[in-house]
């Protein structure tokens, strides 16, 4: 039984297993205290050490974890990873906010024709959506 609430997300993730880049075009499924899950093309055995990157902001955030479960789901596998570092979840949540702010910035440009700086987009996003952003 899961101890913590998982929050859905759609951030990109890249990962390596044993220093071999396996896939660069995956998306996170969800993230929660202590771990995350994502879909993959190939099975990854529980106990496998995995290096993960989140390529949405420079510098790219990298972290490590251990695969704790793997289930076949239609034509893909759903992979569960436990973070190796207790601070990883905090960093990923900050990156996730940056991802949402960047999406907001692009939507405003597309829908309203306003070109926002990163600072302006962050201020607007925070005032509109930060209260609804899950804290745990």
Q: What is the pLDDT of residue 130?
A: 77
pLDDT tens per residue, the chain (136 residues)?
334 334 446 778 889 887 666 666 677 787 776 788 898 888 999 999 999 888 777 777 888 899 999 999 889 899 999 988 777 777 777 777 877 888 888 899 999 999 988 888 888 888 888 777 665 5
Q: Model-level pTM? A: 0.69
- Pair 10, 25 in one domain: yes
Q: What is the pLDDT of residue 81?
A: 93
DSSP string of 9-62?
---EEEEEETTEEEEEEEEEEEEETTEEEEEESS---TT-EEEEEETTSSSPEE
> Interior CA angle at 103 toward 50 and 115, to 5°?
140
Q: Is residue 110 part of a domain?
A: yes
Q: Is residue 135 part of a domain?
A: no
Q: Write out the two tokens for 59.
A: 């510098």
What range defines the domain where residue 60 resides?
Answer: 6-85
Q: How many Cβ atoms are within 10 Å of 108's Cβ, its own excluded?
A: 17
């Amino acid at each position: 039984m899961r101890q913590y609430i998982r929050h859905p997300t759609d951030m990109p993730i890249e990962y390596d297993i044993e220093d071999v880049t396996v896939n660069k075009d995956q998306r996170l499924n969800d993230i929660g205290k202590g771990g995350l899950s994502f879909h993959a093309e190939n099975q990854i055995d529980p106990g496998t050490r995995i290096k993960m990157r989140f390529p949405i902001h420079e510098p790219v955030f990298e972290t490590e974890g251990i695969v704790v479960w793997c289930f076949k789901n239609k034509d893909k596998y759903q992979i569960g990873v436990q973070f190796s570092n207790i601070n990883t979840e905090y960093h990923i949540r900050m990156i996730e906010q940056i991802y949402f702010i960047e999406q907001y910035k692009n939507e405003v440009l597309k829908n309203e024709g306003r070109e926002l700086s990163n600072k302006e987009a962050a201020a607007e996003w925070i005032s509109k959506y930060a209260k609804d952003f899950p804290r745990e």
